[in-house]
Structure 1
């Protein structure tokens, strides 16, 4: 069996990554969406193994020592990371894996696994990103401005990615992602390996 591929999705807060990924996963139920591990407490309604793998801080640090993460980072006093074992198990079954992680995490993954395909999701315009962040109503104006400042930094790093997808509409973004998945599986090396295995 040919091993699955790893795809990273990154992009600024408010660009619509979750919406686009949920739509893509509905069309490709065999894709494996990697669930992150975290040391933070579960929020109301969150389920272990569905939203996050909730781990005690001492266990998380032990996993770091054992090199059990593809990537990890500390954010606002809590640790977040991508456990290797779930990603590898899905890939060994021939499933493609999608990780929704920030640029720092993407760099860590690609340092360990350079074959990883990186996709950057961008807004159609700066004004649209600002509107989306404001309209979702989850942050005050100060937090929106901080997210916009961070978005400028992230957009400057988008050239480190293999693909650049503009999320002007969910349908267009999903179409582009499906095209990328198809293109990656049509690379000659993969097709030759598949023929040789049969």
Structure 2
């Protein structure tokens, strides 16, 4: 039996990983299980706990970090986001392949614990396109928009550290590239 594997998908803030994540999860050949993130931010009206995120209190999050139950975590806009170490270890222990979608700075934390994880950086078509996408999405909040653009620029500086990259503009090509990376 083939050993289960972990794919870590990352990229600059607001690059548009969701269509690639959906396509990867729908690919029967990859047979991936998605690891939903934990967050301390309030649930939005259109979100479902356990489906979009696992919404937990700040105190619970801190406790999980202290108990080393969180594989990686980051703070954004005063809220914490993280990946459950227990969830990933459970999925791997029952032979399931795992897909994790994280902020770029979280990849290093994951590689320390799961050095065999396949880490893929999703590149925007161009930095100008990424900035425009952020402006369009967050135009109602000038501070958040500028914060996200600066964050995206810093995350793009991590791109040269990744052996595996895919472009966001063609989902099918990105999935095929990732499948090739898995087969290597």
| TM-score calculated relative to the size of structure 1 | 0.81
Aligned to 1:195: none
Distance 1:141 1:41 in 2: 18
Task: Using the TM superposition, give the Cα deviation of residue 83 of structure 1 relative to its aligned residue in structure 2, in angstroms.
Answer: 0.8
Structure showing greater Rg:
1
Q: State which drifts further: 147-156 or 61-70.
A: 147-156
**Once superposed, which parts of structure 1, at least 4 consecutive aligned residues long, lie more than 6 Å away?**
none
Runs of 5+ in structure 2 lacking a partner?
Answer: none
TM value normalised by structure 2: 0.87
Over aligned residues, Cα RMSD in angstroms? 2.1
- Structure richer in helix, relative to its length: 1
Query: Do the aligned partners of residues 139 and 80 (structure 1) sit closer, same or farther apart at CA in structure 2, a change above 3 Å counting?
Result: same
Q: What's 2:19 paired with?
A: 19
Q: 1:122 touches 1:166 (CA, 8 Å); kept in 2?
A: yes
User: Residues of 2 paired with 1:150 and 1:43: CA distance?
Assistant: 22
Q: Secondary structure of the residue that 1:32 maps to in structure 2?
A: strand
Q: How many Å apart are 1:152 and its aligned residue?
A: 2.4
Distance 2:73 2:147 in 1: 22
Change (3 A) 1:62 1:144: closer
For residues 133 and 61 of structure 1, do their structure 2 counterparts lie closer, same or farther at Cα, with a shift above 3 Å needed? closer
Q: Which runs of 5+ in 1 are unaligned?
A: 184-198
